[in-house]
Amino acid sequence: MYFIAAIILIAVVLMAALFRQWNMPLIIIALGMGIVFGSDVTGLVYFDDALITQKLANFALIFILFAGGYGTRREDLRPVVVPSLSLATLGVLITAFVSAAAFHLLLGWEPLNAILMGAIISSTDAAAIFSILRTRPIKQRIASITEIESAANDPMAIIATTFIVHLFVAGAGGPLKTAMTFAWLLLGGIGIGLIVGRIGCLLFERIKYVDRGYFYILTIGVILLGFGAADLLGASGMLSAFFAGFVMGNGKFPYKTGVSTFVGALSNIANVALFVLLGLLVFPGEFIQILVPGVAVFLVITFIGRPAAVLVCTMFQKFNWRERAFLSWSGIRGAVPIVLGTYPVAAGIDNGHQIFNTVFFAVVLSVIVQGTTIGRLAGLLGLIGRLRPKPSQAMELVTIHDTDLELVELAVDVEYCAGEARISTLDLPKGTTITMINRGEEIIAPRGSTVILPGDVLFILTRVDEVERVSAEILGRFERDGASECYDISRPSGD
């Protein structure tokens, strides 16, 4: 078994490297490897335990959702907070109920079955969205809305599905009790997550002098605390994990760079393990039975449910039809809908795996059809922006102390900047240092005589309050061709 597991993981990585130029989402590769090694293809691994799958999938989702919150920047969220969060909350419910109505009216499904399917497949996938959009120069505003929504909408879908499955099994407990239960799942999950995230930052500050290896153990402890505390109190553990990650990702604590890398690694491992496991659970031989409903679910969710949610959530905001069309098409389904598809199986209301197989088939269609065409659609709609130069090397500022210094990554845009700037002629604030220049594949250790050229990516150590001044001083030495700005700034380290 260990040998097979090793072969599967190595195969996933090799396939990812092979299909990299086609931007094939990692989740599809992991799913494919799970199917190939599963019962219906090679038969090397026989696996059909939905209950174990649900438990392991929920465990993996804790880390995936924490990482989603951790990677959601407050400064990116602020200008797009209304459309992003409305799509991530109200949009999920609209998608679920509009799709459920279509399932009932067009396909003749029973109302409760239709609502269950709508809730299961109502959220978009952060892993697919991030892997696709971050390799394409989509305009920042639209890309930010899509990414933040995909990272934040999973908890709402999980809450809705859990709630509806509970109605199937236990029955409704009256409108008031139903509303109060849902409200506590939502608000309790958010509140506990915010508290746990703050506790996590304080704990990291308190133990900053211990060996840094313990920080990774503490990170796992905080992630599990975010879920466990909420789950113990009857709130949404998934929502709590997301907001605990959001607080820590936007907070300050020692060794944050290393912890950020570790959180990203945990998320990647959880994603791969999750999709391999889901692939093993699938029996492709059963797909012939759900071919028509699977295609129907994909069509309904893509062309009815999602557009309705986008229209309502952006109705009173400044979006043109092209942006709304892109937001509608960017609703790619992924990990969470497939995991939620195991809930009815585990609850004993999908013994024939019909719901799970239908959801799986619809998700695969979504990733393949929407995922491979979203970049071209952005071009046709005129939503392509400028892709910031990516350095082939990076630097990190690692410190256990509070400091007002920051390591800033400054990219000089080769498309709009012309000329050159010699470092010795720059009037930089006292204490500011250009620590490294990345020029293509070359690393330059700068000196006074070094010349900065368009296309360079500079790593600058400076005070936080001097970032804009330093950037303006350096870029002011270049001629600007038809643009108010010929640079882009990012902060590679939050420590």
Q: Which residues pair with 433 in a beta bridge?
A: 461
The model's pLDDT over 183-227, given as tens digits with 9 standing for 90+, comes to 788 788 889 999 999 999 999 988 877 777 888 999 999 999 999
Domain boundaries, the chain: 2-380, 405-490
- pLDDT bin (cut points 50, 70, 90) of residue 171 is low
Helix axes 90-107, 111-120, angle to 10 degrees: 140
Q: What is the DSSP letter of 486?
A: -
Checking if the pLDDT of 115 tops 80, the result is yes
Host H or E run for residue 342: helix 342-346
- pLDDT bin (cut points 50, 70, 90) of residue 418 is confident
Tell me, what's the pLDDT at 422? 92
Q: Residue type for 270, please?
A: A
Tell me, what's the pLDDT at 43? 80
Is there a contact between 330 and 307 (Cβ–Cβ < 8 Å)? no
Instruction: Find the mean pLDDT for residues 316-330.
Output: 91
Checking if the pLDDT of 175 tops 60, the result is no
Instruction: Look up the CATH superfamily of 405-490.
Output: Regulator of K+ conductance, C-terminal domain (3.30.70.1450)
Checking if the pLDDT of 464 tops 50, the result is yes
Tell me, what's the pLDDT at 466? 86
The model's pLDDT over 229-285, given as tens digits with 9 standing for 90+, comes to 999 998 888 889 989 999 999 988 888 878 888 998 998 898 888 888 888 887 777
Cα–Cα distance measured from residue 85 to residue 214, given in angstroms and rounded to the nearest whole number: 35
Tell me, what's the pLDDT at 95? 94
3-state secondary structure of 487: strand
**What does the block give as tokens for 39?**
């019962």
- pLDDT bin (cut points 50, 70, 90) of residue 301 is very high
Lowest mean pLDDT of 16-25, 233-242, 293-302, 319-328, name the range. Answer: 16-25
Tell me, what's the pLDDT at 390? 53
Quote the mean pLDDT of the chain: 83
Q: Are strands 451-452 and 433-439 parallel, antiparallel or unpaired?
A: unpaired
Tell me, what's the pLDDT at 493? 45
Q: Are strands 451-452 and 457-463 parallel, antiparallel or unpaired?
A: unpaired
Three-state helix/strand/coil letters over 164-198: HHHHHHHCCCCHHHHHHHHHHHHHHHHHHHHHHHH
Instruction: Find the mean pLDDT for residues 137-149.
Output: 80
Proportion of the chain above pLDDT 90, given as a percent: 26
Q: Which CATH architecture has domain 2-380?
A: Up-down Bundle (1.20)
Return all residues near 262 (Cβ < 8 A) that are at least 6 apart.
Answer: 215, 216, 219
Return all residues near 213 (Cβ < 8 A) that are at least 6 apart.
Answer: none
**What does the block give as tokens for 22?**
């086609």
